[in-house]
Amino acid sequence: METGEGLALAKAPDAIFGLCATDSGVFLSTLGGSLFHYTHGEPIRLLLKLDCPLYKVSYSRGILCAIDQKGRYWESDNFQDWSHTQVHGGSLRGMFGSEDQLMLSGAQGQIFERRGHDWISYTDGSNETIYSLIVSAETLITAGKDAQIRDWKKEQDGWNVKQSVPAHMNAIYALSLSHDGEFLLSASRDRSFKIWKASDLELLKVMDVSKSKEAHSRSVNYAQWLDNRRFITAGDDGQIKLWDWVPA
């Protein structure tokens, strides 16, 4: 299995914590509370500036969404006018949005599922911050400060943890599923990203500075599959890198 060298695409003015690649370009959220839009060959454009870190950004159905350190969920349909909702008393760190579902995660092992105008909360029992979550069919996958990846199942009483796997040496900041659902990508404060078999969390690949000079020199805070082979990563070094994945 091979992972192609990380091609540097752009550099943000400060540490990148959230990234969303779309047909409309790349949206970046940063530790300094800025939300940027980047299109290849164009200057990075500032869309929103807050007085606290913006941890995640998502773009779906014409709505740009972001979450911040003060527990607020932000959205805009024109990149200029913003509204926000107070979801959590602590920091919000993870976000997953699809056509019919929106879920957030935060401190004390909590996840929040939006149902109409209400937010329903669940906990993983760890009391540690959940930094990332993804949903596929009836399965939820989360990861966070305790460096474990957790597999949840939806049951009659809601979401419940079914499996927990020690995955990194430090906090896991991002998870992403390949478009065919076969591979799971994780990015960590330990300066590495890893590729897993999604069905059983078998480890397939580790990438850090000991494996390639093109790897991130500091914490890897975000990772996103672009298709079933290519993905991008970003982190504290401000670099956005493009990778090719060739499974065995």
3-state SS class at 140: strand
* Pairing mode, strands 25-30 and 16-22: antiparallel
With 80 as the cut, is the pLDDT of residue 45 above it?
A: yes
First to last CA, the chain: 5
- Average pLDDT rounded to a whole number, residues 90-117: 88
Q: Which of 23, 160, 172 is nearest to 93 (CA)?
A: 172
pLDDT tens digit string along 51-86?
999 998 988 888 999 999 999 999 999 999 999 999
Contact of 151 with 139, CB cutoff 8 Å:
yes
Report pLDDT digits (tens) over 134-189: 988 778 999 999 999 999 998 888 899 999 999 999 999 999 999 999 999 999 99
Tokens of residue 102, six digits: 């929106």
